Amino acid sequence: MFDHCMYFNTAALARRLEREWSLAFKPFDLAPPQAFMLRAVLAEPGALQFELAHTLAISRPTATRALNGLAAKNMITRQATDHDARQTAVYPTAKAVAIAAKLNEASAKVTKRLKQLLGEDAFEGVVKEIRGVRSALK
């Protein structure tokens, strides 16, 4: 019935991937959006909130919710910037830095499993195509 429906198929895929990454990040008590946000903060300490939102292709309010959750878990701190008090820079805490490698390993494990299931070339092709569609729909 929905074989040719992009919305249905991508939403179904997103739900399935959400379950995969939820299991991977469960040991860290992080939901996938929080874990990916934390990985972005760890990769770019001091990034501004709007930059993180852009990096993750999410809205600013969505980024704020993820950051609020990470702050409540003592994983990040926010600091007003010197040049604009309305802007906040986000930094990982020592607690976050301590789990960084394991967090990346957990994500890499899921990616490796998906590549094994789909085949390396198919996996890379799907990711490339999805990014292309996402860019075209901006």
Q: What is the CATH number of the domain that holds 44?
A: 1.10.10.10
State how far the alpha carbon of 118 is from the alpha carbons of 25, 69, 127, in Å.
22, 33, 12
* Claim: this prediction has a pTM higher than 0.95: no
* 97 assigned to some structural domain: yes
Number of domains within the chain: 1
Burial of 78 (0-12, 13-18, 19+ CB in 10 A): middle
Average pLDDT over residues 41-45: 97
47-73 pLDDT, tens per residue?
Answer: 999 999 999 999 999 999 999 999 999
74-121 pLDDT, tens per residue?
Answer: 999 999 887 776 788 999 999 999 999 999 999 999 999 999 999 999
* 1 assigned to some structural domain: no
